[in-house]
Amino acid sequence: MTQRIVMAGAGSIGCFVGGVLALAGRDVALLGRGALAQRISREGLHVSDNDGLDAHLTPQQAPMHVDPACLTRAEVIFVTVKSGATAEMGKIIADHAPEDSIVVSLQNGVTNAEVLRAALPHHDVRAGMVGFNAVQTPDGRFHRATSGPLMAERGDPSLRDLFESAALTLDERADLKPVQYGKLLINLNNALNALSGIPLKTQLEQRDWRRLMADQIEEGIAVLRAEGIDPEAATPIPSKWMPLLLRLPTALFKLVARQTFRIDPEARSSMAEDFDRGRKTEVEALQGAIIALADKHGIAVPLNRSVREAVRHVEAHGPRTFTPEELRA
* pLDDT tens-digit map of 11-54: 999 999 999 999 999 999 999 999 999 999 999 999 999 889 99
CA distance 150 to 50: 16
CATH number (1.10.10.10, 1.10.8.60, 1.10.1040.10, 1.20.1730.10) of 177-328 reads 1.10.1040.10
Q: State residue 233's pLDDT score.
A: 84
Average pLDDT, the chain: 94
Q: What pTM value is reported for the model?
A: 0.91
H/E run at residue 42 = helix 34-43
Cβ pair 90, 119 in contact under 8 A = yes
Bridging pattern class, strands 124-130 and 102-105: parallel
The ranges of the chain annotated as CATH 3.40.50.720 are: 4-173
C-alpha 221/C-alpha 223 separation (Å) is 6
H or E segment and range at residue 304: helix 302-317
Residues of the chain with CATH 1.10.1040.10: 177-328
56: three-class secondary structure by DSSP: strand
Residue 183 backbone zone (phi > 0: left; psi -120 to 50: alpha; other: beta): alpha
Query: Quick check: 281 and 307 in contact, CB under 8 A?
Result: no
Q: pLDDT tens, 243-294?
A: 999 999 999 999 988 877 788 887 899 999 999 989 899 999 999 999 999 9
Which of residues 20 and 2 earns the better pLDDT score?
A: 20
Write out pLDDT tens, residues 101-132.
Answer: 999 999 999 999 999 999 999 999 999 999 99
**Which homologous superfamily is 4-173 in?**
NAD(P)-binding Rossmann-like Domain (3.40.50.720)
